[in-house]
């Protein structure tokens, strides 16, 4: 997407940064749809082309197929599509990828970034999370040169990490969200967007049965809804530490979504008070006082 397609700066812009075509639909699309409903501009970026996602076609043909599928899904979600930067199993935390992603973040100027969990079952997901965090951190650094060059931006950005695949980290430990977004009202659209990735249905049918990827997403949404103890279907989120990104009390999902579409756990609400007490304690230590 060229610079002419990027809107003038406004505060209501959300950018989803995922690893592969269909990851946004699995973990983030419900929240994107609700933000779109609330008047936000939403952006859609998969770092990888998905070129390894076939046992039938060549990498080049698979890459083209999955690009078309991702574009269709983005249109259905009402999101602005951004081309991928690399290929499957080549999402590395490296200089080239970081500078290219940082350029996109400076162009889009999001105030919400949705990305993968820092703990997940494969490196493409965890490396995407790391890249998204660092690229957002570098948004305002004049001496950090992006590729292509883009001027630094100074807006606050709040980063939310999605649930890992299977709701567990790589050591099988259950991950519990800090916030739950009620996706029940948009689940059908989320499912339709995932169904745009038809090549994955056909590929996974070989080993996992008819429509397995759709059923897997349904089950994950129901499981997170059950974890919320309130919603039928939900997406779970953990907010990244604010330092270097936004105000300590920033919670743009809370501000954007209706009260009955979001739960922030008591643990998360108390986190700010704990951090404030920590800051006071550290200041007291540095000054030699406890007051």
pLDDT in tens, 245-285: 999 999 999 999 988 789 988 655 555 554 444 444 444 43
Pairwise CA distance, residues 163 & 220, whole Å: 10
* Single pTM value for the model: 0.88
Higher pLDDT, 229 or 284: 229
Of 210 and 260, which is predicted with more confidence? 260
Quote the CA–CA distance of 87 and 153 in Å, as a whole number: 28
Residue 7: band (very low, low, confident or very high) from pLDDT cuts 50, 70, 90: very low
Instruction: State the number of CA atoms in the 13 A half-sphere of 205 facing the CB.
Output: 10
Distance separating alpha carbons of residues 221 and 238, to the nearest angstrom: 16
pLDDT score of 10: 72
Q: What is the mean pLDDT of the chain?
A: 89
pLDDT at res. 146: 98
Task: Read off the pLDDT of residues 128-162 as tens digits, 9 standing for 90 and up.
Answer: 999 999 999 999 999 999 999 999 999 999 999 99
Burial of 39 (0-12, 13-18, 19+ CB in 10 A): exposed
pLDDT at residue 27 tops 80: yes
Return the axis-axis angle of helices 59-77 and 29-37, rounded to nearest 10°: 30
pLDDT tens digits along 185-202:
999 999 999 999 999 877
pLDDT at residue 126, as a whole number? 98
Q: Residue range 222-229: average pLDDT?
A: 97
Give pLDDT tens digits for 55-92.
889 999 999 999 999 999 999 999 999 999 999 999 99
CB 181, CB 262: distance < 8 Å: yes
pLDDT at residue 259 in the model: 81
Domains of the chain: 9-264 (3.40.50.10320)
In 3-state terms the chain splits into helix, strand, coil percentages (rounded to 5) of 50, 15, 35
Residues 91 and 98: their CA atoms lie apart, in Å, by 10
Token readout for 16 is 């989803």
């Amino acid at each position: 997407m060229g610079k002419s397609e990027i809107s003038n700066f406004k505060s209501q812009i959300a950018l989803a940064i995922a690893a592969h075509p269909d990851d946004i639909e699995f973990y983030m699309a419900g929240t994107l749809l609700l933000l779109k409903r609330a008047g936000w501009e939403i952006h859609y970026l998969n770092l990888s082309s998905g070129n390894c996602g076939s046992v039938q076609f060549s990498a080049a043909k698979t890459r083209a197929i999955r690009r078309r599928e991702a574009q269709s899904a983005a249109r259905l979600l009402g999101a602005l599509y951004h081309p991928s930067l690399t290929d499957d199993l080549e999402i590395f935390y490296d200089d080239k990828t970081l500078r290219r992603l940082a350029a996109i973040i400076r162009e889009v100027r999001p105030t919400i970034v949705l990305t993968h969990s820092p703990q997940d079952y494969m490196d493409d997901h965890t490396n995407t999370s790391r890249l998204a965090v660092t690229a957002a951190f570098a948004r305002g650094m004049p001496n950090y040169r992006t590729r292509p060059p883009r001027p630094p931006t100074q807006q606050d950005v709040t980063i939310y990490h999605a649930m890992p695949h299977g709701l567990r980290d790589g050591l099988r430990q259950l991950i519990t969200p800090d916030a739950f977004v009620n996706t029940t009202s948009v689940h059908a659209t989320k499912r339709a967007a995932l169904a745009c990735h038809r090549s994955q249905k056909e590929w996974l049918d070989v080993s996992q049965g008819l429509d397995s990827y759709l059923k897997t997403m349904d089950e994950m949404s129901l499981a997170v809804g059950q974890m919320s103890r309130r919603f039928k279907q939900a997406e779970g989120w953990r907010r990244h530490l604010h330092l270097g990104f936004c105000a300590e009390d920033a919670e743009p999902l809370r501000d954007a979504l209706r009260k009955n579409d979001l739960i922030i756990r008591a643990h998360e609400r108390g986190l700010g008070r704990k951090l404030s007490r920590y800051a006071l304690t550290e200041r007291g230590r540095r000054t030699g006082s406890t007051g």
